[in-house]
Structure 1
Amino acid sequence: MPLALIAFALLAVLVRRASGFIAFRLGYFFGLGQFVPGLFWITESFQVEADRFGWLALPAVLGLSALLSVFPALACALAARMERAGLPLALSMATSWTATEWLRGHVLTGFPWNLAAYTLSDWPVAAQASSVFGSYGLGFLLVLCAALAGLAFVSAADGKRISRLATAGAIALSVTAFGAMRLLFADVPSERGAQIRVVQPNIAQSAKWDDATRNSNILKLIALSAQPGDFDILLWPETAWPGFLAEDAGARAMLGWLLPETGVLLTGSPEREETGAGTVYRNAVLAISRDGTILTRYAKHHLVPFGEYVPWRSLLPLQRLVQSLGDFTPGPGPRTLAFGPHPYAGIAICYEIIFPGHVVDDAIRPDWIFNATNDAWFGASIGPWQHLASARMRAIEEGLPLVRAANTGISAVVDSYGATLAMLEIDTSGVIDIRLPRPLPATIYARFGDWALLFLMLTSWAISGYWARQQQANLKGASK
């Protein structure tokens, strides 16, 4: 977190009084410094089938980073233009950065990875502000504080220096005080919640769909699930079942033996459906009862470009990085699942958890979020840790506990304040047995989404304008 503050402070100082072209170039190089090391874990996925895709690893990371760096470049160019128009640079910088981060999370299919706010994910006191303004809003406050502090040290006038430092301090103190109060009055963990068991089998991606290891992989999942202990809900990772489980009644009946009378298994499994247009494939989570019945299901709606489908397939002569019978088809969107007497669950499969405000069904609020994922593609890199940081921010934003079942890790149970209560490290197999934490009432961000961010930005500009007019009035009064 200190390094992020220093980086944004220096960026604001460099953009100060720069031309639009120079500011664009500064922002572009800043973006490369952010994205190349921050996304280098992607190279791991190309090594799973190294003979086919290994040569693409470095070009893919550099190309993606070059494309994403346009967003911070635009932010800096816009901030410089606003400064030349007479607007305060620190506020211009925070506004333009937040606007382009929001665009990065929405343009085309969106890619809101490593948002500025995530530098605060390991500092729970500061991260609590995302329950009000979301991750984009928390990033706005972070960049604003850093820019104010940086510009304070290059201010010629003592009054401006003091004013900027005081404003940055007031923002930081307010965020910290809010977080401290929220955590001080945090609910005591319930002893009456549903008992869950999270299974992490640690099956290498190269062996996941191998016919020679299929039976041993299934036996490993079953052996871990059958360990002594009580549970109500059994949780398996994304595509944990190596086949079309919905079409295999015998397998579902066998898995039902693992469950108590009213128990439910939530497991990832691909699905297929014959339609008039051909076979449709979906990446799904199934809820299976003790008698093998599929109680309900969820289909992933936010698919990974080039991993689960090829965008503009008719125009781009490219292959998917994942071999399968065909492209996946997206589901209808966020959905809350009800199964038996258990708490309602919101489902986010893998990549879906990185999208602020697009995880929970607005119509029916769930009691918890289940993030089934398979980060085996990325080995023991920093990627799974960044993925977990995103998931923890979703828990704070929504005020809901979150449970991750990951094939090779990191599986974790996170409470409604973003605290990790239990975790299984990368490249280990095991289970987590724990009571499901309690949900909180819907947060401000859960109710209003990014409208809360817009309110924050408009309020900041209104206060800045009022302060500027007051200073001008004082100067006029002093000159008379």
Structure 2
Amino acid sequence: MPKPALTNRTKNHALMLFWHLLAGAFASLSLPPLFLLPAIFALSIPLFAYLKAESRMQASMIFGAAGAGWFLASTYWVSHSLIVESPSPLLWVLAPFMALALALILAVFWASAAMVSWSFGRRPVARLFWFVAFFSLGEWARGFVATGFPWSLTGSLFAVDLASLQAASVIGAYGLCVIALFFALVPAFWVLGHRRFAAIFLMLPLVLAAFGALRLANVSDGSSASSTSMIRLVQPAIPQADKWDRSKRQRHLDRLVSLSRQGDVVPKLVIWPETAFAGFASRSQSLLNTTIRNATQNDGVVITGIPRFGGGRTLLNSAIMIDHDGAIKAVYDKRHLVPFGEYMPFRKWLPFLEPIVGPIDFVPGENNRLMRLDGYGSMQMLICYEVIFAGAVIGQEMRPDMMINITNDAWFGQSAGPWQHLVQAQMRAVEEGLPLMRVANTGITAGFDSFGRVLGQMGLGRQGVLDLPVPPALPPTLFARFGNLGFFALIFLIIGSATWLDLSRYIRH
């Protein structure tokens, strides 16, 4: 007779995990591009269950389910990359499983944080502080474990307003994750009777916004346009399914040329997106030179994404600066590759994934070479998702005058992906105190000044150009000087608070 009772208990447990998954998915609506900030309070649902959990494993499963919902709802667009180029039935079948697999992998960080933090804290309020500490460390760990994938960070919700984003110049994106999580737990503190904590953490985002408003108020409105150097960002809007079609290559190059020469005045520096030249320089040198000559004036240069062969016939995802006469002035090779996008881990054991990645892996570049151009200074190139790694986008020993992020993003269609990518780029500009120019194939192309203010922006699916002034760089921000030390200072403060909250009950008694 105990079997039916056990079955009912299992069903109830599965149903509760499903509700936690839905809560995580709903909470993710607080992220860009929707920015429904109150949705983040839905994380209190799994949190109350976590506080009542009877074991580490139960706590882990609760937030593993919530994390799966959060990442499934916010990174679903990754699966679009499987089907954008090929109508293969196999890839259509694999697409939803890819989205689910990614969500489950990322949810491990949430589950691990819940498992470890459950072991600390005897009072519920102390356990909340321990949870914030380990959860925030998990968000930070997502930036480098297994090459890193710090997407859908809780701190991204502060990009809802430029003023609230300014705190990234001090504590960075991971520090904002700490603040965002405390904000999410306001209902929990309130229900537990800790109204003072609830009020503090409800007001904390407003304090950050006030700090940001003061920071921006000290900057004149014309600071972004003080430079006389202009830069042209070209968005050709070439569909991904057509990008590598050899029969359409000349048409695509003609579009790039036409956009680059548009108008009466063409800026000296023109930037094309990632792999804008869909061919190898070594095999198409004459075509490349002719295209650049037609696209530029006599003193003009183009920075374009292009694949190339390195030593030993290795395949590199690169950006080159090439002048009107066809001379290559600088080369940058992408250093941080996308797993299962540009190379396949464990290729020998996963042959069925070859249609996704292709038969040959890209290899990472070995050196970070700044590009330089008279009138523009030094430029840090960032190809595609290299821009998402807070604290790892520039070398401390060679601070550039601006950052340039070239990307494709046509892989992800009309989804939240390009918008999320755009916000990541904006956050890097604020963190480093450097202007950032972002050039995408199908959008969203944009320019940001050193405070993250939008200089210009071009929407998804549109073709055209943006001619933007190159604003000045700021002196290194606190984040640029000290990196994530501000974040770790917050973690130590939280751990100290959690320890005090636990010990205080013994002191009082």
Retained in 2: the 8 A contact 1:253–1:291?
yes
Distance change (3 Å), C-alpha of 1:426 and 1:253: same
Retained in 2: the 8 A contact 1:414–1:420?
yes
Question: Structure 1 residue 237 and structure 2 residue 273: aligned?
Answer: yes
- Show the counterpart of 1:312: 346
Q: What is the alpha-carbon distance in structure 2 between the residues aligned to residue 341 and residue 453 of structure 1?
A: 36
CA offsets 1:41-97 (integer angstroms, 9 cap, x no match)? 122211121215222101111112122211111222223222338871332121111
- Show the counterpart of 1:444: 478
Q: What is the alpha-carbon distance in structure 2 between the residues aligned to residue 461 and residue 386 of structure 1?
A: 31
Q: What is the alpha-carbon distance in structure 2 between the residues aligned to residue 416 and residue 271 of structure 1?
A: 32
Distance change (3 Å), C-alpha of 1:173 and 1:50: same
2:293 partner amino acid: G
Q: What is the alpha-carbon distance in structure 2 between the residues aligned to residue 29 and residue 306 of structure 1?
A: 24
Q: What is the alpha-carbon distance in structure 1 between the residues aligned to residue 493 and residue 367 of structure 2?
A: 32
Retained in 1: the 8 A contact 2:121–2:498?
no
- Show the counterpart of 2:234: 199
Deviation at residue 466 of structure 1 after TM alignment: 6.0
Deviation at residue 457 of structure 1 after TM alignment: 1.5
Deviation at residue 152 of structure 1 after TM alignment: 2.7
Deviation at residue 451 of structure 1 after TM alignment: 2.1
Q: What is the alpha-carbon distance in structure 2 between the residues aligned to residue 326 and residue 130 of structure 1?
A: 38
TM-score, normalised by the number of residues in structure 2: 0.86
Q: What is the alpha-carbon distance in structure 2 between the residues aligned to residue 320 and residue 299 of structure 1?
A: 23
After TM superposition, the structure 1 stretch with the greater mean CA deviation from structure 2, 254-263 or 72-81, is 254-263
- Listed as ranges, the matches of 1:465-480 within 5 Å are 475=508
Distance change (3 Å), C-alpha of 1:332 and 1:186: farther
Question: Structure 1 residue 208 and structure 2 residue 212: aligned?
Answer: no
Question: Structure 1 residue 253 and structure 2 residue 292: aligned?
Answer: no
- Show the counterpart of 1:99: 137
Retained in 2: the 8 A contact 1:309–1:320?
no
Q: Which runs of 5+ in 2 are unaligned?
A: 1-29, 31-36
CA offsets 1:260-279 (integer angstroms, 9 cap, x no match)? 4443211000011342xxx1
After TM superposition, the structure 1 stretch with the greater mean CA deviation from structure 2, 61-70 or 180-189, is 180-189
Deviation at residue 232 of structure 1 after TM alignment: 2.2
After TM superposition, the structure 1 stretch with the greater mean CA deviation from structure 2, 67-76 or 220-229, is 67-76
- Show the counterpart of 2:3: none
SS across alignment from 1:283: strand
- Show the counterpart of 1:420: 454
Deviation at residue 6 of structure 1 after TM alignment: 0.9
Q: Which runs of 5+ in 1 are unaligned?
A: none
Retained in 2: the 8 A contact 1:126–1:175?
yes
Distance change (3 Å), C-alpha of 1:81 and 1:150: farther
Q: Percent same amino acid among aligned pairs?
A: 34
Q: What is the alpha-carbon distance in structure 1 between the residues aligned to residue 367 and residue 133 of structure 2?
A: 29
Match of 2:420 among 386, 398, 423: 386
TM-score, normalised by the number of residues in structure 1: 0.91
SS across alignment from 1:284: strand
Q: What is the alpha-carbon distance in structure 2 between the residues aligned to residue 311 and residue 5 of structure 1?
A: 34
Distance change (3 Å), C-alpha of 1:180 and 1:282: same
Match of 1:167 among 185, 188, 200: 200
RMSD: 2.3
Deviation at residue 404 of structure 1 after TM alignment: 1.2
Aligned length: 467
Question: Structure 1 residue 29 and structure 2 residue 65: aligned?
Answer: yes
Deviation at residue 444 of structure 1 after TM alignment: 1.2
Distance change (3 Å), C-alpha of 1:43 and 1:445: same
Q: What is the alpha-carbon distance in structure 1 between the residues aligned to residue 297 and residue 123 of structure 2?
A: 67
SS across alignment from 2:329: strand
Q: What is the alpha-carbon distance in structure 2 between the residues aligned to residue 355 and residue 274 of structure 1?
A: 28
Question: Structure 1 residue 177 and structure 2 residue 210: aligned?
Answer: yes
Deviation at residue 359 of structure 1 after TM alignment: 1.1
- Show the counterpart of 1:435: 469
Question: Structure 1 residue 343 and structure 2 residue 343: aligned?
Answer: no
Distance change (3 Å), C-alpha of 1:274 and 1:71: closer
Distance change (3 Å), C-alpha of 1:361 and 1:85: same
Deviation at residue 166 of structure 1 after TM alignment: 3.6
Deviation at residue 452 of structure 1 after TM alignment: 2.1
